[in-house]
A and B are shown apart, each in its own frame.
Chain A
Amino acid sequence: AQTVTQSQPEMSVQEAETVTLSCTYDTSESDYYLFWYKQPPSRQMILVIRQEAYKQQNATENRFSVNFQKAAKSFSLKISDSQLGDAAMYFCAYRSALSGGSNYKLTFGKGTLLTVNP
């Protein structure tokens, strides 16, 4: 079974600074998808960024980028020019790319609570 580990329960960053959230995962599969989701306090969980394991290029979405190290099974999220609205719980998630009923699910890490200080 796959596992996802987020070793930083909490992080803080100053507004306009850069912060990196860590995520490692364990899998024996070679093809899979990785995601970062953001859940603001009492608000809906939204997708931040997605990475396909077969792509060597790191995904980027505006101020959000990832550092995907497949051999190390590491998938960190970098937030540049942090804004107050970035304050949220961030979840790293894994999904297999192998077809089969048992794979239609996301496996989440425990989350990292990000505080943005003005």
Chain B
Amino acid sequence: KAGVTQTPRYLIKTRGQQVTLSCSPISGHRSVSWYQQTPGQGLQFLFEYFSETQRNKGNFPGRFSGRQFSNSRSEMNVSTLELGDSALYLCASSGTGTLTDTQYFGPGTRLTVL
């Protein structure tokens, strides 16, 4: 089975722009979560989707948004980029979306904001 894939792998943007990141979960997985990883703050939860519904959202400003499509693929969008948004954005998928699931991570998208 193919793993979690994320595109693009690297992005360079300037302040004020917006960006869209994509995540394709493992085939058959219905839950997708997003995390931001920075050296200072570590791994922080952004949001989680299951069957196209956002079930949980982390403590991030409204500039961070996401969605999930009927095929379970997910996108996250960051508008009005700030320097502090530079980070590795990780996507994780799990099968049934229950709390017993294990999350499997993708390789991440490295976003640099200049």
A-B CB pair tally, cutoff 8 Å? 56
Do A35 and B99 touch across chains, with their CB atoms under 8 A apart?
no
Report B23-54 residues with CB < 8 Å from chain A CB: 31, 33, 35, 42-43, 45, 48, 50
Residues of A within 8 A of B16 (CB): none
Do B97 and A50 touch across chains, with their CB atoms under 8 A apart?
no
Of the listed stretches A17-25, A64-72, A79-87, A103-111, name the one at the interface; the rest are far from the partner chain.
Answer: A103-111
How far does the alpha carbon of A56 sit from the alpha carbon of B96 in the complex, in Å? 25
Interface size class on chain A is: 20 to 34
Do B99 and A110 touch across chains, with their CB atoms under 8 A apart?
no
Do B55 and A101 touch across chains, with their CB atoms under 8 A apart?
yes
Do B42 and A111 touch across chains, with their CB atoms under 8 A apart?
yes
Do B56 and A101 touch across chains, with their CB atoms under 8 A apart?
yes
For A32, give the chain B residue with the smallest CB separation: B99
Do A45 and B102 touch across chains, with their CB atoms under 8 A apart?
no
How far does the alpha carbon of A88 sit from the alpha carbon of B92 in the complex, in Å? 19
Q: How far is the CB of A60 from chain B (nearest CB, A)?
A: 16
Chain B interfacial positions (CB closer than 8 Å to A): 3, 31, 33, 35, 42-43, 45, 48, 50, 55-56, 58, 90, 92, 97, 99-100, 102-108
The 4 closest A-B pairs by CB, nearest first: A108-B43, A45-B105, A105-B45, A101-B55
Chain A interfacial positions (CB closer than 8 Å to B): 33, 35, 37, 43-47, 50, 91, 95-99, 101-111
